[in-house]
Structure 1
């Protein structure tokens, strides 16, 4: 399996899909990519993509770091700054630890742990703050 640059809200990152079995994903990637399994997640290429799974091995969420070069509709990608987010969206909300834009559910930029709410994104973050992770989820 070759990883892609596709990001699909509520569905996938890099061709890895929520709902897949982690064992199947690891088998497809073995030999091509460095994978590091853990009890509840599989890290691919040092965090390029991380697949989070339940006890049965079913993937429930995915994240990618700044080394991932894909984007969602040229509006969201890992490594965006606050200025980028403001430029590429009309509305930003804090939801469940993520910045969601323009009411698009199932995709978000990971907020710092201490920040779980804001009226405006710039209330607590400078324009040059970098969002290091982008997540795709179904919750």
Structure 2
């Protein structure tokens, strides 16, 4: 499996999909091209380029990517985006379950710092130059 730059909300990042068995991903990733690290709850590809989180049965429940990932979703969201870029590229922003969701797009979001889980306006809680280092795709 070769990683691509496609983000599909609620489904996948880079071809790593929610609902897949983590061992299948580990077996099909081209180990000569990608560094793989396994933790009890995740498979980390190339130091966080993509991280697949899984349950106790090995089923992927969420996928994240860091700023090294080159994909963008609808030119609205990508890892490494700043608060000012989020505001410029979207009409609405809301906090939901630890993520910033934009324009009512479900299943894709930017992870908020742990201490921040709600906001009236994104620019009120974070500096315009704050960088969201991770983008997540989730099914919850």
**Is the TM value for this pair above 0.5?**
yes
Partners of 1:65 and 1:32 lie apart in 2 by: 18
Aligned equivalent of 2:57: 56
In the TM superposition, what are the counterparts of 1:1-139 in structure 2 within 5 Å?
Answer: 1-29=1-29, 30-139=31-140
1:86 Cα offset (Å): 0.3
Q: TM-score, normalised by structure 1?
A: 0.98
For residue 5 of structure 2, give the secondary structure of its aligned residue in structure 1: coil
- Give the Cα–Cα distance (whole angstroms) in 1 for the partners of residues 125 and 19 of structure 2: 35
CA–CA distance in structure 2, aligned partners of residues 117 and 127 of structure 1: 17
For 1:121 and 1:39, how far apart are their aligned partners in 2? 34
How does the TM-score come out when normalised to structure 2?
A: 0.98
Q: What are the ranges of 5 or more consecutive residues in structure 1 without an aligned counterpart?
A: none
Deviations 1:59-112 (A, max 9, x none): 000000000010101110000000000010000000000000000010000000
Count of residue pairs brought into register by the alignment: 139
Q: What is the distance in 2 between the residues matched to 1:122 and 1:85?
A: 10
The CA distance in 1 between the partners of 2:47 and 2:105, in whole Å, is 28
Report deviation, 1:31.
2.9
Q: CA deviation at 1:124?
A: 1.1
SS where residue 46 of structure 1 aligns?
helix
